[in-house]
Amino acid sequence: MRILVVGSGGREHALIWKLKQESPDAQIYAAPGNGGTKALAESVPLKPDEVDELADFADSRDIDLTVVGPEAPLVAGIVDAFEERGLKIFGPTARAAEIEGSKAFAKALMKKAGVPSAGHETFSEFDEAEKYIRKHGAPLVVKASGLAAGKGSIVCESVEEAVEAAQSMMVDEKFGDAGATIVVEDFLAGEELSLLYLTDGENAVPLVPSQDHKPIGEGDTGLNTGGMGAYAPVSIADDALVGVVTDEIILPTLAALRDDDRTFRGVLYAGLILVDGDPYVIEFNCRFGDPETQAVLPLMQEGLLDVFVGLAGGGDLDVDRFRFRGGAAVCTVLASKGYPGSYEKGKRITIPKGLEDDDELIVLHAGTRRDPEGKLVTSGGRVLGVVGLGADVTAAAARSREGAEAIKFPGKYFRRDIGYREIDREAAG
Ligand code: AMP
Ligand code: GLY
């Protein structure tokens, strides 16, 4: 079997690692991949937004299955383009992916479907947004409606901050066209949760619940990043809560999408906030989460490839094929000094030999590449994800931290507290 994985981050390395585990004989290509995917997949020098070139490649190499990591190509219509050419690809069409591509659309859809989410208003005129913000009062969350690489949501504790955020998006065009329309949301306080569902547009199966750690600093302080770590499972997301999310959030959302001729096939990611135990949607994503995927996939025993193949081939979701192994996983992200601000690249990375030999540690690459001499160097803000496995989150986190300490590169920064909420819960018994 020949598989093409589109993307270059830790999520894509995790997908490739998992697919290779399920199908060791598969020939996997990564477009473009990174310094770590090279061991498992042949690198193809194409970027995720080069949709036509990717389709040409898939066509010429008889690719049996394409899996897309990032949102931008999905929103841009990579699935539509592949399907038009009869190429098998796993993921939602552009119309379905709009659930991530336009927050204004997602909020309107949720309202229509009766899905709980923060109160909001949508604006495309700055004066009106400012009037609303001043009348409403703080705290508020100001969000660019379009894709902004995870940086388009600003939690504002004062009215002035919110007005400034709206101005930066709508007047100063900080996120280009993505900020021409904004959503202003009520602030919700509570613990966050990521629930990823595989779906054929009608039925949906949840993967293991996980939690991301977005802020750069320990104790969730400082600027938001693309994610400094994640863990799974999350004990507060018990079967009862997941059932509520499935019945009251996911299935109604899928039905509303179908009604609008936007049948969603692929991974639907619900970013939730628990307010007094009740789940509210903060955002929907049309793809696997990063870094949640790095913690979630190692907990799955088998069946992912079968589901991808089935859904890419136009079939229904085969729920019976899922198996989860027990235990827990913690992914600690190693970042470059300065991230999420500016940082230097090209730093030599040393991974001790034998670090991954005990089956309880997996090193997944994100911002790495091989220099002309073949040496591994940093090439991004988030450099590596170190996944520790264990009987519980406390044990998995300890293993992940050990691995994170052992890997060296100049300017290495990481949070030592990934999973702290769950570790506190485990300590409390
Ligand atoms: P988003 O880009 O919508 O995923 O938001 C990024 C982050 O901003 C989330 O992970 C939350 O921490 C925070 N956030 C977004 N919306 C809200 C909200 N309505 N209330 C509180 N925090 C929010
Ligand atoms: N971990 C957040 C995201 O993938 O959007």
Q: Say if 106 falls within a structural domain.
A: no
Domain with residue 371: its CATH number is 3.90.600.10
The pLDDT score that the predictor gives to residue 145 is 86
At 333-362, the pLDDT tens digits run: 999 999 999 999 999 999 999 898 788 999
With beta carbons less than 8 A apart as the criterion, state whether 201 and 121 touch: no
Give the distance (Å) from ligand 1 centre to CA of residue 289: 15
Pick the closest to residue 311 from 199, 197, 202 (CA basis). Answer: 199
Number of domains in the chain: 4
Give the distance (Å) from ligand 2 centre to CA of residue 49: 19
Give the distance (Å) from ligand 1 centre to CA of residue 188: 8
The pLDDT score that the predictor gives to residue 183 is 87
Atom of ligand 2 nearest to the CA of 289: 4
Please indicate, yes or no, whether residues 372 and 422 belong to a single structural domain of this protein: yes
Averaged pLDDT for residues 247-276: 97
Pick the closest to residue 317 from 197, 196, 194 (CA basis). Answer: 197
Please indicate, yes or no, whether residues 168 and 252 belong to a single structural domain of this protein: no
Give the distance (Å) from ligand 2 centre to CA of residue 297: 15
Helix (H) or strand (E) holding 19: helix 10-22
According to the per-residue pLDDT averaged within each range, which of 35-49, 175-189, 319-333 is highest? Answer: 35-49
Q: Which of 159-168, 210-219, 256-265 has the lowest mean pLDDT?
A: 159-168
Confidence tier at 114 by pLDDT (50, 70, 90): very high
pTM reported for the whole predicted model:
0.95
Tokens of 197: 């569902």
> Which among 324, 344, 377 is the end of a domain?
324
DSSP letters for 308-321: HHHHHTT----GGG
Averaged pLDDT for residues 167-191: 89
Q: Say if 116 falls within a structural domain.
A: no
With beta carbons less than 8 A apart as the criterion, state whether 335 and 379 touch: no
Give the distance (Å) from ligand 1 centre to CA of residue 370: 35
With beta carbons less than 8 A apart as the criterion, state whether 378 and 391 touch: no
Q: Say if 108 falls within a structural domain.
A: no
Q: Which of 2-16, 219-233, 311-325, 405-419 has the lowest mean pLDDT?
A: 311-325
Confidence tier at 3 by pLDDT (50, 70, 90): very high
Using a 6 Å cutoff on CB, does residue 154 contact ligand 1?
no
Continuous H helices in 313-358: none
The pLDDT score that the predictor gives to residue 201 is 97
Please indicate, yes or no, whether residues 288 and 351 belong to a single structural domain of this protein: no
Domain with residue 7: its CATH number is 3.40.50.20
Give the distance (Å) from ligand 1 centre to CA of residue 139: 12
Q: Say if 120 falls within a structural domain.
A: no
Averaged pLDDT for residues 248-277: 97
With beta carbons less than 8 A apart as the criterion, state whether 269 and 286 touch: yes
Strand partners, 262: none
Q: Say if 66 falls within a structural domain.
A: yes
Please indicate, yes or no, whether residues 80 and 138 belong to a single structural domain of this protein: no
Please indicate, yes or no, whether residues 149 and 195 belong to a single structural domain of this protein: no
- Please check the confidence at residue 293 and state whether its pLDDT lies above 70: yes
Please indicate, yes or no, whether residues 356 and 320 belong to a single structural domain of this protein: no
- Please check the confidence at residue 320 and state whether its pLDDT lies above 70: no
Q: Say if 308 falls within a structural domain.
A: yes
Choosing from 141, 186, 194, 213 the residue with most ligand 1 atoms within 8 A of its CB, the one to mutate for a pocket test is 141
Using a 6 Å cutoff on CB, does residue 141 contact ligand 1?
yes
Please indicate, yes or no, whether residues 299 and 197 belong to a single structural domain of this protein: yes
Please indicate, yes or no, whether residues 311 and 393 belong to a single structural domain of this protein: no
Using a 6 Å cutoff on CB, does residue 227 contact ligand 2?
yes
118 or 31, which is more confident: 31
Tokens of 220: 């969730």
Q: Say if 134 falls within a structural domain.
A: yes
Residues 12-46: b if buried by 16+ CB within 10 A, e if exposed: bbbbbbbbbbbbeebebbbbbbbbbbbebbebbeb
- Please check the confidence at residue 321 and state whether its pLDDT lies above 70: no
* Residue of minimum CA distance from atom 15 in ligand 1: 282
Please indicate, yes or no, whether residues 353 and 275 belong to a single structural domain of this protein: no
Pairing of strands 229-232, 266-275: unpaired
The pLDDT score that the predictor gives to residue 303 is 86
Please indicate, yes or no, whether residues 319 and 209 belong to a single structural domain of this protein: yes
At 48-78, the pLDDT tens digits run: 999 999 999 999 999 999 999 999 999 999 9
The pLDDT score that the predictor gives to residue 182 is 86
Torsion on CA atoms 75, 212, 268, 311, rounded to nearest 10? 100
- Please check the confidence at residue 322 and state whether its pLDDT lies above 70: no
Atom of ligand 1 nearest to the CA of 117: 19
Averaged pLDDT for residues 256-265: 97
With beta carbons less than 8 A apart as the criterion, state whether 324 and 232 touch: no
Using a 6 Å cutoff on CB, does residue 183 contact ligand 1?
no
At 359-411, the pLDDT tens digits run: 899 999 999 999 999 899 999 999 999 999 999 999 999 999 999 999 999 99
The mean pLDDT of the chain is 94
Q: What angle do CA 371, 297, 248 make, to 5 degrees?
A: 130
Pairing of strands 376-378, 368-370: antiparallel
Give CA 187 to chain center in angstroms: 22
Distance, in Å, from the CA atom of 317 to the CA atom of 70, rounded to the nearest integer, reads: 22
Tracing tokens 């991230």 back to the chain, one arrives at 339
Atom of ligand 1 nearest to the CA of 214: 10
Distance linking the first and last C-alpha atoms of the chain: 46
The pLDDT score that the predictor gives to residue 266 is 97
Range of the domain at 143: 125-180
